[in-house]
Structure formats: C-alpha cells, structure tokens
Amino acid sequence: MRNNRIILIYLLLCMSIGVACTKASDYGGDSDPSETEATPIRVATYNIRSNFGSDTQDWDTRLTSLDALFQKYDFDIIGVQEPYQRQIDDLMALYEDTYDYYVVHTGNIVVGGVSHSNPVFWRKSRFTLQDQGVFWFSTTPEVEGSVSWDASQARNCVWVKLYDKEYKLSFFVFNVHFDHQSTTARNNSAVLLMNKIKAIAGAHLVICTGDFNTNQNTTAFATLTTSNVLIDTHSIAEKVVNDDYKTSHGYSIIPPEEGSLRIDHVLISELFPKKVKLWQCAIDNFDGNWASDHYPVFIDLDLN
C-alpha cells in the first residue's frame, strides 16, 4: 500500500510538471519569454513649427536641434504638426533609412506658396503600412479643403494603419491639428474625430496624436476622453515626467507650474489592453536653440 502511494504521488508530480511546461510554452514556445518580449512602442506628438521667415529662430538652426532631439529620444512613431513639404524633405534627408511617412497637405497657403500639414512618421524596420487616409474637419469631411464652424482655415486628420512586426498586430494612428482660433470648430472637430475613429478603426487599437489647441480642462477635451473611445495617456501612465510644463512655450523657458495647461496630447483606445509605461514632455533645448515653439510629448506603450 505504501509503495502504491509513492507511485501515485510520483505520477501526480509528473503531471503537474507537464501542465506547468505546457502553460509556459503558451507564452514563448521553446524560447525564453524575456527574449521574445516586444519592445514598448515610443509614440510622440510634436508640433515642429512651420518655416516662418519671421521666426526668432530660423528653420536651419531648429533643424539641427530637432535632429539632436530625435536622436536622443529615438521615437518609433511621430505625429507631426505644421511642417511645410520642405521641412519634411529636410527631415527625410536625415532619416530616410529610419522613417517612412504619410501626408496630405491642408492647402492653406501661408508663406511662399506652400501649406502646412500634419504627417505621421513611423519606423519602417518595425512597422508595415497597411492602409492610409484623410478626412477634413468640416460638415463635409470627404471634401478636400472644406472649412466649417468658423474655423480660421482648412484642417484635416491623416491616419495610417500599421502592422507591428514585434507585437504582431495591426493598429491605427490618427494625427490632427485642431483650429487655433475657433472654440466652436474645436468642439465640433472633437465630435467628428470620435465618430470617424469608430467608423474607420472599428475594434482595432487606436493611437491619436495631435496639437489639439485645447487644454485638458475644456469641453473639446472632455469629448475626446469621455466618449468611451479614447483616454488620455497622461491619466493612466505608470510614470509621468515634466507634466508641470506647458507643452507650448513660444521659444522661451516657462517655469514649471502645477496644473500647467497641455494642448499637445497622445490619446489611446480606452478599452484595448495596454500599459502606458511612461508619459513625458521633453523640455530639451540644445545650446540654447529650440527645435520648435512646442515641446514634444511622448509615451512608451506596452501591448504585452
């Protein structure tokens, strides 16, 4: 009888080990899970400021600082606002081996017969473009260059669908630049954006970047973050850095202050499983030279 009990215990132990091994294989097969775990995605939103000849800091000087900032933070995805095509070309001359991008210019003729835009850049070694599109913030969003709601100029949203080779999933990135003058335009643009995201992305993960020209205490921002579509990554980040700085600084050092207003945001699908490991406002200048009159805001996004 004693021998039978020993044999039974031995068999139960073997079965337990087998079950444990089966569960482990579900999370990494024969390899070490730590070796197969995907790297968090570093996503930034950055208004890099159009190339205005009247600026206190010219574009060529700012480009040097922008290059230094890109190298320091090594973004995977960047929603950029305001660049003219010449500025995009200058960036791609530096990073053609690193990034690809999608852009549709707004058509707002500002300086020298060129218009600003809000392209999305992505690291082409990690992501594959699957789809792309654009809509306009107006009552006729499919009409190119359309303007509504007392907006000062035409504004659009460009979006891309990317496949992540590390996480092995597809997701959408929407990048916007809301009107800077009309509160009515911003409020209506927020409603339209929520409806378009639901229609275009469906159940996929969505990351939304932008210079929303609206801070975290406004009606437009409440629409963006209380519609059961998106959530502010700042509110769920495990670590927050420099949130006491305004994200728009006008080429000057504005002292940090608790509750500072942020108009540049990274939003994400509310219900999709994720971890925002880091939210940061990057306050760097280089030898006293600013890359823009805004700071970039970025997150580290873990989808494991």
Supply the pLDDT for residue 112: 52
Supply the pLDDT for residue 57: 84
Sequential DSSP letters for 96-162: TTTEEEE------EEETTEE----EEEETTTEEEEEEEEEESSSSTTSTT---TT-SS--EEEEEEE
> Which of 66, 100, 67, 104 is closest to 85 using CA atoms?
104
25's enclosing H/E stretch is: helix 2-26
Supply the pLDDT for residue 1: 45
CATH code at 41-302: 3.60.10.10
Supply the pLDDT for residue 36: 52
End-to-end CA distance of the chain: 49
Cβ pair 281, 247 in contact under 8 A:
yes
Look up residue 60 and give its two tokens.
């060529």
Secondary structure (3-state) at 27: coil
Q: What is the dihedral of CA 281, 117, 270, 36, to 10 degrees?
A: -70
CA angle 290, 291, 296 (to 5 degrees): 110
Secondary structure (3-state) at 186: helix
Look up residue 287 and give its two tokens.
């030898």
Supply the pLDDT for residue 13: 41
Q: How many CA atoms lie within 13 A of 197 on its CB side?
A: 28
* Tens digit of each residue's pLDDT, the chain (304 residues): 444 444 444 444 443 433 333 322 222 233 333 445 899 999 999 999 999 877 778 999 999 999 999 999 999 999 999 999 999 999 999 999 999 999 999 886 555 556 789 999 999 999 999 999 999 999 999 999 999 999 999 999 999 999 999 999 999 999 999 999 999 999 999 999 999 999 999 999 999 999 999 999 999 999 999 999 999 999 999 999 999 999 999 998 899 998 899 999 999 999 898 999 999 999 999 999 999 999 999 999 999 8
Residue with tokens 């929603």: 79
> pTM here?
0.87
Supply the pLDDT for residue 93: 98
Running DSSP on this structure, what letter comes out for residue 48?
-
169's enclosing H/E stretch is: strand 169-177
Running DSSP on this structure, what letter comes out for residue 275?
E
Q: Which residues fall within 8 angstroms of residue 263, CB to CB, at 6 or more apart? A: 211, 212, 213, 214, 215, 247, 248
Supply the pLDDT for residue 241: 98
Look up residue 239 and give its two tokens.
């670590």
Strand order in the sheet with 264-269: 127-136, 156-164, 169-177, 205-211, 264-269, 230-232
CB atoms inside a 10 Å sphere around CB 236: 14
Cβ pair 304, 53 in contact under 8 A:
no
Supply the pLDDT for residue 110: 54
